[in-house]
A and B are shown apart, each in its own frame.
Chain A
Amino acid sequence: MRSIWDVIIVGAGPAGMCAAIETARQGLHTLVLDRQSEPGGQIFKSVGSSALVNHLGSDYSAGLPLVEEFKNCGATFLPSANVWDIAPDRVYFSAQGQSRCMTARQVVLATGAMERPVPLPGWTLPGVMGSGASDILLKSAALLPQGPVVLCGNGPLILQAAVHMHHFKVPVAGVLFTGRISNLLRAMKHITGALARPGYFLHGIGMAAQTVFSQKCTFAVRDIRLEQVETERLTINFTNMSGSKKSLQAATVLLHEGVISESRITRLARCRHTWDERQRYWHASADEWGQTSVPGIRTAGDVACVRGAVAAQAEGRLVGLDVCHELGRLNMNERNRLADSHMSIVRRCRALQPFLDEYFAPTPSQLQPADDAVVCRCEELTAQELQQTIRQGCFSPDGLKAQARPGMGTCQGRMCGQAVAEMIAHTQGLPLDQLPQYTAQPPLFPLSLGELADMPMPPDLS
């Protein structure tokens, strides 16, 4: 395989696939790397092989033609490849136990998003999983959670899970919504924007209506605690809107508090980031062509602000087209002409987003974990333990990491970074948009020293 490319794209989800299709079409040598064993990302996970491709809705099966187009577009796809360091002209990655460095004139980061981790007591127990995670198992392995199931959280994926459970006749003991009732009022200010995508909007209302009519729903739930009674039996304790303590029994609990950009890679690349106040997360700042503050490094899709798969595809096309322009394959008029329809999709998606972001805004009080909640899952540190160190005079996530070890485990702070920042901001009275996140350092993923030592030097450095 060549080691010098015109463009290297990290991530083969909707954004990465679309960017690759555009650059390969113009004859640019395009390499696409992904951690998964097949293209599609999480939203189109296993769409080419899923036994349920016709049972999970048109949003999912829409991925089939896209994956086919990608496979035939002429880009080189390298699956099961972990990118562990990045610079404007080069990408370091590990595949099949060997690390390599490859150079590119343009690097596109299309690594997507993750479910927002919100620590609560018992979220580390077997039988508790992300709602999006459960969806991945359904798509890729036709697995359904064993009932009774409790769905708990706030965000469109909770509604989607409730609809799937109903469709596949999985018993649901209850759906606990953690969003504030006032979110609806805030969202209504942006209703005209929502109507920019009437089909999507009505689909969402339809899912919400189906959930409310088919499942036992409780709203404005707080103080959630999970306990294991015995193997595969959990108790969910919570406080309802009127302040009464309630509990439910379940075999499986699915949690979801929205989706946020997985920004470790853009932080590692030292891109400038923006704080999203409504959804409370940092994401890379990029212009309409995906150009970040670092020349030669671009973003496409949810990694730089979560807007979903439709927007990600259009953004991927725009980034791909502008890479072709930058590298001399398209003049500005050609680029603009080809970009026109994608630009209008992006505009409609952006118009809808404020409504969704307000309606599914996380509840600030819920982001302050209870004392006995394990915040750092890797190092097994509770909120109480971390709070002690914060109160002794700790003012940043990196400082807390140095003093108390959250973020020092294998996940490298992906699961605790948000919660740790929320705790420090709350306790010290600091605005979150002024609080730096954990510093991202290479390698982005655990790597053996042997593999590092065996890595061939890149051609221009040897």
Chain B
Amino acid sequence: MFVKTTPSAGRQVTIYFEGQPLEVEEGISVAAAVLGPSHGWTRTTHGGHKRGPYCQMGVCFECLMTINGVPNQQACLVPVAEGMRVNRQNGVPDFGKEGCNHA
């Protein structure tokens, strides 16, 4: 749903979206990095509906994802970093698995 206008000029980092490696430009937000590969949806609601980042500025909380095992992260505010594991957050997150300390 979103495509790159210019070839990347900056340094590239590798992140893992749903386990798949992605080469992305350093410094962009996680939401921007996964928008294309995710087909625009980055979580499901407790009602099971697909949602994607809406405001890109930290207001709407639609971009909540699990980043490095920590649920409920606002993907539009978190810059990508080498080796980062990014997963869709489906339904209500499970806080029990990997604790809830920030990434």
A-side residues, CB < 8 A to B, are: 35-37, 42, 46, 49, 51-52, 80, 96-97, 114-115, 117, 124-130, 132-134, 136-138, 140-146, 168, 231-232, 251-252, 262, 377-378, 380, 409-411, 414-415, 446, 448, 450-451
Q: Are A124 and B51 also in contact (CB < 8 A) when A138-B5, A232-B40 are?
A: yes
Min CB distance A7 to B, Å, is: 23
Report the interface size class on chain B: 35 or more
Instruction: Give complex CA distance A142, B8 in Å.
Output: 9
Partner of A415, one of B1, B36, B59, B64: B59
A-B interface contact total, Cβ < 8 Å: 130
User: Secondary structure at chain A's binding surface: helix, strand, loop or mixed?
Assistant: loop
Contact with A along B63-100 (1 / 0, CB 8 A): 01000000010000101000000000000000000001
Q: Are B55 and A130 in contact (CB under 8 A)?
A: yes
Q: Are B57 and A140 in contact (CB under 8 A)?
A: no
Q: Are A140 and B1 also in contact (CB < 8 A) when A127-B52, A129-B53, A133-B55 are?
A: no
Q: Are A133 and B53 in contact (CB under 8 A)?
A: yes
The B11-67 residues at the A interface (CB cut-off 8 A) are 25, 27-29, 32-33, 35-36, 39-41, 45-47, 49-62, 64
Could you jot down 20 A-B contacts, CB within 8 Å?
A46-B27, A49-B27, A80-B77, A97-B101, A124-B62, A126-B39, A126-B52, A133-B57, A137-B2, A138-B5, A141-B4, A143-B3, A143-B5, A144-B5, A146-B2, A232-B40, A251-B1, A252-B1, A262-B59, A411-B60
Closest to A448 in B: B100
Q: Are A137 and B35 also in contact (CB < 8 A) when A35-B77, A42-B57, A127-B1 are?
A: yes
Partner of B1, one of A37, A146, A410: A146
Closest to B25 in A: A141
- Contacts A42-B57, A142-B8 given; 18 further ones with Cβ under 8 A? A51-B8, A51-B9, A97-B102, A124-B51, A126-B40, A127-B1, A130-B55, A133-B57, A137-B35, A143-B35, A143-B36, A144-B2, A232-B1, A377-B60, A409-B61, A410-B61, A415-B60, A448-B100
Q: Are A378 and B61 in contact (CB under 8 A)?
A: yes
Instruction: Give complex CA distance A433, B4 in Å.
Output: 44
Min CB distance A440 to B, Å, is: 14
Taking CB atoms, residues of chain A closer than 8 Å to B8 are 51, 142
Partner of A126, one of B1, B4, B56: B1
Q: Are A231 and B39 in contact (CB under 8 A)?
A: yes
Q: Are B53 and A145 in contact (CB under 8 A)?
A: no
Instruction: Give complex CA distance A10, B40 in Å.
Output: 31
Q: Are A142 and B6 in contact (CB under 8 A)?
A: yes
Taking CB atoms, residues of chain B closer than 8 Å to A146 are 1-3
Q: Are B28 and A141 in contact (CB under 8 A)?
A: yes
